[in-house]
């Protein structure tokens, strides 16, 4: 299994995106996604980490496959591949920090301090994408 996790980490480093999504309502969500033309790779990841998966046909080029995992499932995924990440380890760290601060037992209002902290994580991750 370690070999497969290392392979998946390489896919994320090369083709994936690790992000914090901010909704218009101020909700922050850890997210990992991959877009690629090789469905076999997406199927492998989906078989281990079931998540949202879809295909779409761009105007030009081959059929694309998209795999997206969010929130605590994204955190579990990143924890599993973390030791093998090379390029996007800092991005993974920020998503793991965000998700570790969430409490999944309801949707109470966040303090201003917590909202500000999550916004800072979001901005730090955006800087890493530049």
Enclosing domain of residue 62: 2-128
> What pLDDT, in 10s, does the model give residues 30-57?
999 999 999 999 999 999 999 999 999 9
Q: CB of 5 within 8 A of CB of 81?
A: yes
Average pLDDT value for residue range 102-122: 78
> What pLDDT, in 10s, does the model give residues 70-82?
999 999 999 999 9
CA 112, distance to chain mean position in Å, is 25
The CATH number for 122's domain is 3.10.28.10
Overall pTM > 0.95: no
Lowest pLDDT segment from 11-15, 33-37, 87-91, 107-111: 107-111
């Amino acid at each position: 299994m370690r070999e497969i996790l290392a392979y998946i980490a390489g896919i994320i480093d090369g083709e994936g995106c690790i992000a914090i999504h901010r909704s218009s309502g101020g909700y922050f969500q850890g997210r990992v996604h991959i877009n690629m033309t090789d469905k076999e790779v997406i199927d492998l990841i989906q078989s281990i980490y079931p998540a949202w998966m879809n295909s779409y046909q761009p105007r030009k080029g081959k059929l694309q496959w998209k795999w997206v995992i969010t929130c605590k499932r994204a955190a579990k995924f990143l924890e599993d591949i973390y030791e093998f990440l090379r390029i996007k380890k800092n991005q993974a760290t920020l998503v793991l920090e965000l998700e570790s601060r969430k409490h999944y037992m309801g949707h109470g209002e966040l303090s201003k301090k917590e909202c500000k902290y999550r916004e800072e994580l979001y901005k730090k991750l955006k800087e890493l994408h530049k």
